[in-house]
Structure 1
Amino acid sequence: MTATMTRPTADASAATQGIRLTLDGVTYRYGRGHAGVGPLDLRVDAGEFLCVVGPSGSGKSTLLSLLAGFLRPQAGQIRLGDTPVRGPDPRLTLVQQEAALFPWRTVAGNVAFGLERQRLPRAERDTRVEDTLRLVGLGGYGPRRVHELSGGQRQRVSLARALAVRPRLLLLDEPFSALDDRTRTVLSDELLSIWWSQKVTVVFVTHNLEEALALGQRVVALRGGEMVLDGAARELNVARLRETLEG
């Protein structure tokens, strides 16, 4: 899979909305042979697009759960800006591999869910829902039901729901892995376009090395819960990533 959009330069992607993410000595261990992660030291600049790669069991999912606030570090600290993360934070949203939409709601109703929790006025909520649907290429899809959508369209709705609340950090957990190659390429290009326009900080977790290099400005590789590589995507290739991950 290769995204066709040209990756913006670091200067061009200077953030207007994103937020800095910092991990200092972050550790979480499960015991009984489950590696967990850490200790990890990592800084993601505001507006940066970071991809995290690694095989099954490398700690990717644990890391994402820590960043999302679903798990608390056993040691170390995670900060958004200057504020420690102590649980789910309204400044970040998570898009998972499965769209996990509410089948009893319309497309618009799904996208509006987080805005309802924010108690946004109805008129403002409706405007933001439609604006966000247009952003992900689903303008006019608001009245449709989930069962009427293709897999790619459902992931667009999931992305729209995450973006509607205007997060400063967007976490993505292998969001395109269940899609066919063509749909994955289209959505990857659209994600880059959205990131470029929104300037949100992105952490994208994947096991697909080509995907990581096509999307990320920077790539971090995990193996056995430890960070074994951290480099600019333009300076890396699939062979080097694979060699690093295989040890």
Structure 2
Amino acid sequence: MTATMTRPAQAASASPQGVSLTLDGVTYRYGRGRPGLGPVTLHVQPGEFLCVVGPSGSGKSTLLSLLAGFLRPQAGEIRLGDTPVTGPDPRLTLVQQEPALFPWRTVTGNVAFGLERRRFPRAERDARVQETLRLVGLEGYGPRRVHQLSGGQRQRVSLARALAVQPRLLLLDEPFSALDDRTRTVLADELLGIWWERKVTVVFVTHNLEEALALGQRVVALRGGEVALDAPARELSVGRLREMLEG
């Protein structure tokens, strides 16, 4: 990344709106030598911004699939607050690396999709869409089609769609990795601002160590499906993280 991201004041200064996340001895194995995850024990505080790093095959994608409820742990338990995760949960949303937008819908239609599925009244739906577009810097872009947007704008729409349902846990799977450095830095700054305003709990997966240290309050490094390091970002350096992952 070519620019330095500006971190807002510590989230502890305001009441968090996120939900706690707990993994207790969570294990998932694919078989046939394919790497999996676990056992992993981890606790994320409400409103915390956690970054997860690790090389390919370290378990990052498996972790996100388990948190999102797409996979079920073969051992252990995942809890949002006090409730076990047994499948997709309306309190969380996932933003992936490639923005899976509907090309036949406008920006407004894409952002409204989750609200429509949850049968929100039209007036509330419209208000939420407009507020969320403002939040991600796309005010006035509602009538545009996906093909009229840049890569960064498409990822903003994807983020807006996730935020419109007001999740308490936001999962992000390398959402900026396909973008150029300048756009990536701008969106990372905006994500920090959104996190500060909404106080949502964030789990951000990335292979970019600099990005993890710039964004996260805390960084977890996975290696071989297990937690190799779990520490506050301010106590870490890129060199130390690389050493842990390669060691």
Tell whether the structures are fold-level matches, with TM greater than 0.5: yes
What letter corresponds to residue 78 of structure 1 in structure 2? Answer: I
1:124, distance to aligned residue in structure 2 (A): 1.0
Q: Do the aligned residues in 2 keep the contact of 1:72 with 1:87 (CA within 8 Å)?
A: yes
Aligned residue runs from structure 1 range 54-203, under 5 A: 54-203=54-203
Summarize deviations over 1:201-222 as a string: whole Å, max 9, x none.
Answer: 0000000000000000000000
Q: Are 1:3 and 1:188, in contact at CA under 8 Å, matched by a contact in 2?
A: no
Distance 1:12 1:241 in 2: 28
Query: Alpha-carbon deviations, 1:48-80, whole Å to 9, x = none?
Result: 000000000000000000000000000000000
Partner of 2:30: 30
Q: Distance in 1 between matches of 2:158 and 2:102?
A: 10
Calculate percent identity across the aligned residue pairs. 81
Q: Distance in 2 between matches of 1:63 and 1:3?
A: 28
Does the 8 Å contact 1:213/1:234 carry over to 2? yes
Counterpart residue identity of residue 8, structure 1? A
Moved over 4 A (4+): none
Alignment correspondent of 2:7: 6
Q: Distance in 1 between matches of 2:215 and 2:70?
A: 26
* Matched length: 246
Corresponding letter in the other structure for 1:196: W
Against the structure 1 CA distance between its residues 176 and 13, is the aligned structure 2 distance closer, same or farther, given a 3 Å change threshold?
farther
Residue pair 2:115, 2:125 contacting (<8 A) in 1 also: yes
Could you list the runs of 5+ residues in structure 1 that have no partner in the other structure? none
Q: Deviations over 1:12-69 (max 9, x none)?
A: 2541x10000000000011222220000000000000000000000000000000000
CA 1:3 to 1:67, structure 2 compared with 1: closer, same or farther past 3 Å? Answer: farther
Residues in 2 aligned to 1:3 and 1:79: alpha-carbon distance in whole angstroms: 34
State TM-score, norm by structure 2. Answer: 0.98
For 1:99, the aligned partner's letter is P
* 1:226 corresponding residue in structure 2: 226
Displacement after TM superposition at 1:5 (Å): 1.3
2:189 maps to amino acid: D
Instruction: Give, in whole Å, the separation in 1 of the partners of 2:86 and 2:236.
Output: 34
Structure 2: tracts of 5 or more residues without a match: none
**1:232, 1:12 → 2: CA distance?**
17
The 2-side partners of 1:172 and 1:124 are apart by 26
Letter in 1 for 2:152: G
Please provide the CA RMSD for this pair: 0.9
The answer to whether the 8 A contact 1:7-1:217 is kept is no
> 2:210 — aligned with what?
210
